[in-house]
Amino acid sequence: MNNRIMNHPVLGKLEKEAAFTFTFDGKEYQSYEGDTIASALLAGGVRTLRVHENSASPRGIYCNIGHCMECRVTVNDTPSVRACLTEVKPDMVVESGKPKAAPFTDRENMPHTYTEFEQKSKRKAGNNHV
Amino acid sequence: MDKVVVCRCEEVTMEDIKHTAEKYQCSAREVKLRTRAGMGYCGGRTCRPLVNAALEEATGEKPGNDLPLKVQPPVRPVTLSELGGDK
């Protein structure tokens, strides 16, 4: 998939630029020199760069100027890198943001003590995982 | 309109803010502490004016100087390693 403008009336043909590959969540994508992670993935048809930690709803490019932190991804094991500001380098390994364990989503009924937490969570005795 | 997400970092909708503002008749700061709107990854740099505006609509309270949603340095969120925490 390629959403790029290959032949621009002012900027010329894109084939002249150097192309290389990088991976996003294990899949290979093509990038041109000067691409940001966000622009290369958008051209590759990827609009979801991460999901919300609690609700797992999708997130992608929002402000695209490094302001909102919505496009943060993990680059070469460095977490929270803004995809919209970071230039792609050859063989970069990019991972999307995954949902995290969220035992309580109802903010009104959050447990306030550990006893309440044990009562409210469906946690079995002896199992330390939430 | 009520389903519109105001604070994307903490996923707080207009409905949540209106509901909290009407239930507790509170300041912008209290709404922030109750709903976590503006306490997410971007540090409220995206939604702060929206939270203030939503509050004004719900309670009629103008965002004042006594307990505002204040702005603190740094300008952008930075990691501790960027500040030298890796050494």
Tens digit of each residue's pLDDT (9 = 90 or more) over A111-125: 888 888 777 776 555
pLDDT at A130 over 60: no
Nearest to A55 among B11, B76, B77 (CB): B11
Q: How many domains does chain B have?
A: 1
Return the pLDDT at A127: 60
A-proximal residues of B, 17-56, CB under 8 Å: 34-36, 41-42, 45-46
Cβ–Cβ contact B13 with A under 8 A: no
Structural domain span for residue B39: 5-84
Cα separation, A46 vs B24, whole angstroms:
42
Cβ–Cβ contact A48 with B under 8 A: no
Chain A residues with CB under 8 Å of B76 CB are 66-67
pLDDT band at B63 (very low <50, low <70, confident <90, very high): low
Weakest-pLDDT range from A121-130, B20-29, B33-42: A121-130
Residue B77 to residue A69, Cβ atoms within 8 A: yes
Smallest Cα–Cα separation from B43: which of B72, B67, B15, B64? Answer: B72
Which residue of chain B is at minimal alpha-carbon distance from A72? B41
3-state helix, strand, coil in chain A (%, to 5): 15, 25, 60
Residue with more model confidence, B52 or A57: A57
Return the pLDDT at A73: 96
Residue A70 to residue B8, Cβ atoms within 8 A: yes
Smallest Cα–Cα separation from A60: which of A33, A87, A88, A36? Answer: A36
Cβ-based neighbour number of residue A25 at 10 Å: 13
Model-level pTM?
0.78
Chain B residues with CB under 8 Å of A100 CB are none
* B48-59 vs B28-35: helix crossing angle, rounded to 10: 110
**For residue range A39-85, what is the model confidence (pLDDT) as tens digits?**
999 999 999 999 998 888 999 999 999 889 999 999 999 999 999 99
Residue B79 to residue A80, Cβ atoms within 8 A: yes
Return the pLDDT at A1: 62
